[in-house]
């Protein structure tokens, strides 16, 4: 999903999944970029590099809407080559400096729908929220039903959807120079949906991120992040993965 500043750490959610800062009030902004590998909550979304782009509009009231799309390539998406995220939420900051963000997000895989309905489906609806104070952030997500084509691990019928998932992430981001920041995040991913990805001996998994990001005044940005999980499953590479991300943000 869109790097929503992990749900607080810029550049790490290629792991995405992370929720970026909404557009400034009363403005339409866009972004384009490419990452060396698309990881979502620590899990590979396809081989090789991935391109992405998005649009966000922030209202004066604090509400925002947006969309973000990326290239993907995993078999369970019925040949899907793209992911489109559509989201809306409300963000702001208290007088004491506590930032907050709540919203809803829909992950849509167009090619899957064109090929006919899949059960379970990769199309996923989530509710998310985050709090931030200074360099520290805390975020959470909850998917009430279908979760990225995950089957219920407790039934023999592979067409039974997993029945949802949830996760909680803590993040830390602090400036190193006027251009560079050090970013770190750790997350717990649980529920039946994540049980399907955690491996045969676990019902949840952890994700870990360490990285450095740079933001330039001309809108260009770059990040380098090491991403890993504790997933122990056949055929899953749990070694740390280096994700390089380059992006350009602009006003419209």
Question: Domain holding 162: CATH number?
Answer: 2.40.160.40
Q: Which two tokens stand for residue 247?
A: 């992006």
Whole-number Å distance between alpha carbons of 114 and 137: 39
Number of domains present in the structure of the chain: 1
Contact by Cβ (8 Å): 38, 225: no
**pLDDT confidence of residue 118:** 66
Residue 181 covered by a domain = yes
Residue 169 covered by a domain = yes
Query: Any idea what DSSP says for residue 20?
Result: P
Residue 6 covered by a domain = no
**pLDDT confidence of residue 116:** 60
On the question of a cis peptide bond just before residue 49, with omega within 30 degrees of 0, the verdict is: no
- 10 Å CB burial of residue 233 (0-12, 13-18, 19+) is middle
**pLDDT confidence of residue 212:** 95
Residue 101 covered by a domain = yes
**pLDDT confidence of residue 117:** 62
**pLDDT confidence of residue 162:** 78
Residue 111 covered by a domain = yes
Residue 233 covered by a domain = yes
* CA nearest to 1, candidates 139, 134, 153: 139
**pLDDT confidence of residue 18:** 38
Residue 33 covered by a domain = yes
Query: Dihedrals φ, ψ of 112, to 5°?
Result: -65, -45
Query: Any idea what DSSP says for residue 25?
Result: B
Q: What is the mean pLDDT of each run of 10 residues along the chain (252 residues)?
A: 39 38 72 94 89 94 95 66 93 94 93 69 93 94 91 73 90 94 95 89 92 92 94 79 94 90
What range defines the domain where residue 243 resides?
13-251
Q: How many CB atoms lie within 10 A of CB 70?
A: 24
């Amino acid at each position: 999903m869109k790097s929503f500043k992990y749900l607080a750490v810029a550049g790490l959610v290629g792991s995405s999944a992370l929720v970026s800062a909404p557009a400034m009030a009363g403005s339409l902004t866009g972004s384009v970029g490419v990452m060396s590998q698309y990881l979502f909550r620590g899990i590979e979304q396809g081989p090789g590099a991935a391109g992405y782009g998005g649009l966000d509009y922030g209202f004066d009231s604090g509400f925002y809407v947006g969309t973000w799309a990326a290239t993907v390539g995993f078999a369970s998406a019925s040949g899907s080559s793209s992911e489109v995220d559509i989201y809306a939420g409300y963000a702001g900051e208290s007088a004491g400096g506590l930032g907050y963000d709540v919203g809803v997000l829909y992950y849509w895989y167009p090619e899957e729908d064109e090929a006919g309905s899949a059960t379970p489906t990769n199309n996923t609806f989530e509710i998310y929220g985050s709090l931030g104070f200074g360099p520290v952030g805390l975020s959470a997500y909850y998917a009430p039903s279908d979760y990225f084509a995950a089957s219920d691990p407790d039934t023999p019928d592979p067409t039974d959807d997993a029945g949802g998932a949830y996760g909680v992430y803590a993040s830390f981001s602090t400036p190193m120079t006027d251009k560079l920041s050090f970013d770190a995040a750790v997350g717990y991913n649980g529920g039946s949906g994540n049980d399907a990805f955690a491996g045969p001996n676990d019902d949840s998994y952890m994700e870990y991120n360490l990285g450095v990001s740079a933001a330039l005044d001309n809108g260009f940005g770059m990040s380098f992040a090491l991403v890993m999980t504790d997933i122990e499953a056949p055929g899953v590479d749990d070694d740390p993965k280096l994700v390089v991300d380059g992006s350009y943000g602009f006003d419209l």
